[in-house]
Structure 1
């Protein structure tokens, strides 16, 4: 499984990195929208929306909201990212609520309509703000493409660090009622890896050395947010009684299994970067 997981990552990572570094922001956002909406489709399935037509209508509604945000951001004076910034703030607020939800893992765990409604709202609040944060980061001068790469690399490094450290050294369970395989040692490994990659990426993006402590703080917060995103998806899978959100990516599961940490970390990284001015 580790070999398959590594091979899949070696294929996906170069394509993703090339798109971020070489394409203009509108194209990056368009490609990201496809990926995020595929993840949202899997989210609907975890929310037990079994009817394909119903899932399609919900997906189109979320796509329409994305389009509306872009359309409303256009003006004769140019393109404004104010709505993207507002959405990012909403995203950060949502993940704080999600953290509280994780403390009550049985909440919305049944199969009633009201429980599905909570999970559908959670899907929109997770995916759309993350997509807005992605566009906001990439479009920010100077070197927005390098900063977006750094934000994503923090999550990738944290995920890998947690996986390998957890396998080798993991003893104490982090959240046994939600994800029994995650450990405190894995969390520490992920934090160290995310911090190291965040600092290295900041230097690559042109940040002065004086800003590295600020970058480090945001990298740690983004890593912690990615853990919340990962745990929340694990909670949805536990409620649905499935191991993976899908089977599209060999060794990795579904699209949502790969972006669960990203959708939580991007709003935190974007907002932290803007507030601390690096």
Structure 2
């Protein structure tokens, strides 16, 4: 993909999620995001080795029903959403172990297909729950949600440009040869800079900046894990991109992978540090 194509697509698409996050009520935003995530999960079923339409549709239906059940059972305290967000944090810790053994689950067996379908659900559902929890918080829920997304975008953009300019040491050559440690450092630095102007916008005191930096860097780091995990699934299935919906960016899952990992870590970290 060319740098110009990548930038043009990002500039055209960026206003849509920003406006949705800032101006839509949480139920409407959650409904739209659920449809987007389920569409991404449709792509994921291809990674898992499930290609027939009927089982793919049944899998999506089951995930949609689970989402509805989680909202219905959450109550005013959002207990189920918070619980699933914490499950998401644990899941992405497990993914780190999976990435250390990239050959695990590669064989096209029924057990591995089931495992990868489960992995798709554990990526999609906790992220959706985290979004609902974060966005519903008053009075700055929408701003916090946008900040979480901006961290991912800043980390991705910083990594892309730093890696293109200085990248020499490969991060995970067997999974994603194009990624470098220099790119990771560029992404972390860009995200850390973003946290500084965010302090007053998020209604924080300047004394809380170190805690915000901690959450920001953790989210920027785990977003790389989300990206690598999708790359690993694509390698297992022998595809380059999850789709061709976005010129220069691939399919939906190519845009969602980092966000899926980032949202649970962000909202749980935010709550843990009292931000």
TM-score, normalised relative to structure 1: 0.97
How much has 1:198 moved relative to structure 2?
2.9
Question: Following the alignment from structure 1 to structure 2, what is the Cα–Cα distance between the partners of residues 35 and 99?
Answer: 25
Q: Say yes or no: does 1:21 pair with 2:18.
A: no
Other-structure match for 1:202? 199
Other-structure match for 2:162? 165
Is 1:147–1:202's contact at 8 Å kept on the other side of the alignment?
no
* Secondary structure in structure 1 of the residue aligned to 2:246: coil
Question: Can you give the 5+ residue segments of structure 2 that lack an aligned partner in the other structure?
Answer: none
After superposing on structure 2, the runs of 4+ consecutive aligned residues of structure 1 that deviate more than 4 Å are none
Other-structure match for 2:225? 228
How much has 1:203 moved relative to structure 2?
2.7
Other-structure match for 2:93? 96
* Secondary structure in structure 2 of the residue aligned to 1:180: strand
Other-structure match for 1:242? 239
Q: Say yes or no: does 1:255 pair with 2:256.
A: no
Q: 1:138 aligns with which of 135, 138, 152?
A: 135
1:45-70 CA-partner distances (Å, limit 9, x unpaired): 11111101111110010000001111
Q: 1:150 aligns with which of 139, 147, 151?
A: 147
Other-structure match for 2:121? 124
* Secondary structure in structure 2 of the residue aligned to 1:277: coil
How much has 1:260 moved relative to structure 2?
0.3
1:5-29 CA-partner distances (Å, limit 9, x unpaired): 1121112110110010011111111
* Secondary structure in structure 1 of the residue aligned to 2:179: strand
Q: Say yes or no: does 1:7 pair with 2:8.
A: yes
* Secondary structure in structure 2 of the residue aligned to 1:181: strand
Is 1:90–1:129's contact at 8 Å kept on the other side of the alignment?
yes
Other-structure match for 2:65? 64
1:103-123 CA-partner distances (Å, limit 9, x unpaired): 000000010011111111111
Question: Following the alignment from structure 2 to structure 1, what is the Cα–Cα distance between the partners of residues 111 and 186?
Answer: 38
Question: Following the alignment from structure 2 to structure 1, what is the Cα–Cα distance between the partners of residues 156 and 36?
Answer: 19
Q: Say yes or no: does 1:268 pair with 2:269.
A: no
Other-structure match for 2:38? 37
* Secondary structure in structure 2 of the residue aligned to 1:162: helix
* Secondary structure in structure 2 of the residue aligned to 1:231: helix
Question: Following the alignment from structure 1 to structure 2, what is the Cα–Cα distance between the partners of residues 190 and 148?
Answer: 19
Is 2:199–2:206's contact at 8 Å kept on the other side of the alignment?
no
1:235-258 CA-partner distances (Å, limit 9, x unpaired): 000101111011111110000000
RMSD: 0.9
1:168-190 CA-partner distances (Å, limit 9, x unpaired): 11000000011000000000001
Deviating more after overlay: 87-96 vs 198-207: 198-207
